[in-house]
Amino acid sequence: MQTYNNKTQQASNTINQQGPTWAAMNPEFVARMQLQNRFNTGLDIAKYTAKIMREDMASYDKDPANYTQSLGCWHGFVGQQKMISIKKHFGTTRSRYLYLSGWMVAAMRSEFGPLPDQSMHEKTSVPALIEELYTFLKQADARELQHIFKEMDDAREAGDQVREQAAQQKIDNFETHVVPIIADIDAGFGNEEATYLLAKKMIEAGACCIQIENQVSDAKQCGHQDGKVTVPHEDFLAKINAVRYAFLELGVDDGVIVARTDSLGAGLTQKIPVSQTPGDLADQYNAFIDGEEVTSLAQMQSGDMAIKLGERLIKPTRLPNGLVRFKPNTGEDRVVLDCITSLQNGADLLWIETEKPHIGQIAAIVNRIRDVMPNAKLVYNNSPSFNWTLNFRQQVFDAWLEEGKDVSQYQREKLMSQDFDGSMLAEEADERIRRFQKDAAAQAGIFHHLITLPTYHTAALSTDNLAKDYFGELGMLGYVREVQRKEIRQGLACVKHQDMSGSNIGDDHKEYFSGEQALKASGKDNTMNQFAV
């Protein structure tokens, strides 16, 4: 471990080697600046965070109570504040990541303006957001360390060696705000070469973990919408290979790949793959295709096609746009095959996009996968697209009905109503929601729980409340009572927004560079001095 004293001594040796021309350089200031910028490149971050993810995955394999979590963030400041809050409340960032949602990039970060989640946004916007998130997380490191350096300087000035030593220990044991990002590459934005090129940019920006889905790239849909079209396994595995090659080329040997399957909700395929031998992947994929058995040429019309499945010849069910329909009720079987195949061909984690948050359903699928791949682990979307309240109230209703309990006071289709708030059923449902992540980690193989779009919704909700109050009768009290007063009392560091934006770090640098001539912003007339936080 590089200690504060070691860094200072190394800087001193470097400066002394240059002779008197570098006499203005203060080795302790050099050490501080180096510690405040621990990661020089995005690749440094990717290598560091990949190791963390691998350690967390091994820890989960030993005990599923060691699951991990993240929240989706659409801006660097949002990600920064999330990690600052986690350190404040829990003392460590361990097992907490960031999630980069392709949905939020499309809806909030595209130069075209708000777009649907259909891979229409610029490819470059994804690596740009990764870089932005890490820029803000590194700045959070620099800001917190600057405060500790100030503690050390104040202790020295007061001649308090105990406080000085305590500050130095904080520096030597400092935990960075830089954590893994699970980054959404959608369906790869083109063919496998396009996927490789974009994956490289994402890794160079700092991504240690890339999530890719098995939809058709140019017809990609949000996982919670209709009209999803999947590709044959060979096409998807080529893109997994492309991402792995990108990791290996850049020296991130333990980079993590999340293979997402949308087959549970996808009823269509883009094309019929060519089978080379009976029972190969293409043959298994084609076995799910819906069609009419052909016994004579009279059943065929101009432009029709037929494929042999085992001893049968079938005419696939095709839409007017040429897409081919799967047999109904085959989604779960296709998901199991997708997941096993992905893990057998280089993926590290799985993502199963489901239509509801039901532990029993997820566990049933995972158990089938684990029959073949015993250490299979999921990344699961605790999606805002689910109506969690209604889903879990209905799950409780169904369970009670099956147990023979009296549910006559409840109406299953109207359980979202406030009329049922505070009822025993609602309380049981809320308790199941509270336990969902822990229970799903233990029972359904979920290593990582994330919410894709939480900060999209929190930004909308808080803005709505502020607009209602500030532009209404409360006026300025709407801001003071509901925002600033709470910031102060909850100890939010950003109440001192000048400090959060780096003003005090800049003052330090001015003093390093200019000495007593430095014109600093943090003097007695700075209004931020009104805040004790």
Which residues lie below 8 Å from residue 153, measured CB to CB, with a gap of 6+?
A: none
Catalytic residue numbers, as ranges: 222
Query: Cβ–Cβ contacts within 10 Å for residue 164, how many?
Result: 18
Contact between residue 396 and residue 436 where contact means Cβ atoms under 8 Å apart: no
d(CA 417, CA 393): 11
Cα–Cα distance list, 425 to 225, 383, 396 (Å): 30, 22, 7
* Distance separating the N- and C-terminal Cα atoms of the chain: 31
Tell me if 184 is assigned to a ligand binding site.
yes
Q: Which residues are registered as beta bridge partners of 97?
A: 70
Amino acid present at 266:
A
With residue 71 as reference, give the H or E element that holds it.
Answer: strand 68-72
The runs of H, that is alpha helices, within 450-524 are 454-470, 476-479, 485-489, 497-500, 503-514
Residue count of the chain: 533
Give the separation between CA 175 and CA 52, rounded to whole angstroms. 13
Return the number of other C-beta atoms located less than 10 Å from residue 497's C-beta. 12
Tokens of 160: 């308090």
Using alpha carbons, select from 319, 328, 398 the residue that is nearest to residue 361: 398
- Cα distance between residue 75 and residue 78, in whole Å: 5
CA–CA distance, 498 with 82 (Å, rounded to integer) = 18
Alpha carbon distance 119, 237 (integer Å) = 20
The conformational region for residue 131 under phi > 0 = left, psi -120 to 50 = alpha, else beta, is alpha
Residues making up the binding site for Mg(2+): 184
Residues making up the binding site: 184
